[in-house]
Amino acid sequence: MRQLLVEAARRRSASKRGSGQALVTLNEDMHGFTGRSDELVALDSALHELAAVEPRQAEIVVLRFFGGFEVTETADILSISPATVARDWRAARSWLAVNLRRAG
């Protein structure tokens, strides 16, 4: 899901610059990204940076944000405790907020 949303955002941004590429329609209402292509691309970039320093936190963000999984479901998928997921989720959101603010 993450890759589909990011690619659609990149295509929209490219078409705004007159690239001439065909536009692929995606139901953007799924996650509330209508008109926020640049933010989604920035989030993807920040997630790649986070994965380089804290891979588990990045995976938790992908599962929770893009996958829509709850804390307990994420814990089951990663075979860790729900408390660890909650702690890493908070840390990852803070890290992303700081890095997205700096990038923006």
**pLDDT digit string, tens, across residues 8-43:** 666 766 555 445 444 444 444 445 555 577 888 888
Q: What's the per-residue H, E or C state across the chain? A: CHHHHHHHHHHHHHHHCCCCCCCCCCCHHHCCCCCCHHHHHHHHHHHHHHHHHCHHHHHHHHHHHHCCCCHHHHHHHHCCCHHHHHHHHHHHHHHHHHHHHHHC
Full residue range of the structural domain in which residue 30 is found? 2-103
pLDDT value of position 26:
40
Q: Give this prediction's pTM.
A: 0.68
The pLDDT value recorded for residue 50 is: 96
Place of tokens 């292509």: 37
Q: pLDDT per residue over 46-79, tens digit each? A: 999 999 999 999 999 999 988 899 999 999 999 9
Distance between CA atoms of residues 48 and 100, nearest Å:
12
Number of domains in the chain: 1
